[in-house]
Amino acid sequence: MKIGTYYYPEQWPREQWQRDFDNIAAMGLRIVHMAEFAWFTMEPKPGEFHFDWLDQCVEMARQRSLDVILCTPTAAPPSWLSQEHPDTLPMDQFGRRDRFGGRRHYSPTSPAMHQATSRIVTAMAKHFGSHQSVIGWQIDNEYSGNFDQSEHTHAAFRQWLKRKYETFDVSPGAGRSFGLDGGRQKCSVFFDPQQQFRLFASLHLFD
């Protein structure tokens, strides 16, 4: 079994990288995982890719017989994306958009987010995909509890419900599976008015 470590070279001075890779190898670690939060560093402007710094890090890993796992950086969208496309930010049940910053500040159904994601992921795959030291890819970051109630997400969720359940009747359709057979939470059709998430009786699905 190989044991590795996460490393974020974009957060450290370049003159420190050699020392860090030396220490990683000296500790007996065999894999270095990089780039999961480095979208802006790799693409500071739309379509303008800067991979030279990551090339240098991958080469440092190779020189020390370290394997590399690269991560798609979609958990940390760049500031220019939300500035140019505010609809990429998630929305709460009251119609308020989130702000840029932190992690996972995106709507998973935003067309602009999909387009930008495809562009950076494709560029990374073309640039690093055949490198002998890159042994794998991590897609995005860990699962999160972020919620989004934007128009795109509501529309996508209703389409998913239609494909899966065909009907929203309490039995045997989507209503029962989501625990909506109690009191005023009942719905009759997929396009009923938006529900506040906190109204639902349970976070557990029955299906």
Give the start-to-end residue ranges of the domains of the chain.
4-138, 165-199
Residue 201 pLDDT: 47
The neighbour count for residue 103, using CB atoms within 10 Å, is 14
Q: Which two structure tokens, joined as six digits, stand for 12?
A: 């450290």
Give the span between the Cα atoms of 59 and 66, in whole angstroms.
Answer: 9
Residue 109 pLDDT: 93
- Give, as one character, the DSSP assignment of residue 196: P
Q: Which residue has the higher pLDDT, 192 or 163?
A: 163
Tell me the CATH class for 4-138.
alpha beta
pLDDT score of 194 more than 60: no
Residue 193 pLDDT: 45
Residue 139 pLDDT: 93
pLDDT score of 143 more than 70: yes
Give the span between the Cα atoms of 76 and 67, in whole angstroms.
Answer: 24
Q: What is this structure's pTM?
A: 0.80
Of the pLDDT bands very low, low, confident and very high (cuts 50, 70, 90), residue 92 is: confident
Lowest mean pLDDT among 12-21, 43-52, 180-189: 180-189
Residues whose CB is less than 8 angstroms from the CB of residue 42 and which lie 6 or more positions away in sequence, other chains included: 35, 49, 50, 51, 54, 73, 120, 123, 124
Q: Which two structure tokens, joined as six digits, stand for 126?
A: 């073309």
- Give, as one character, the DSSP assignment of residue 45: B
In 36-105 the beta strands, taken as DSSP E runs, fall at: 67-71
Q: What mean pLDDT, rounded, does the chain reach?
A: 86
pLDDT score of 206 more than 60: no
Residue 157 pLDDT: 86
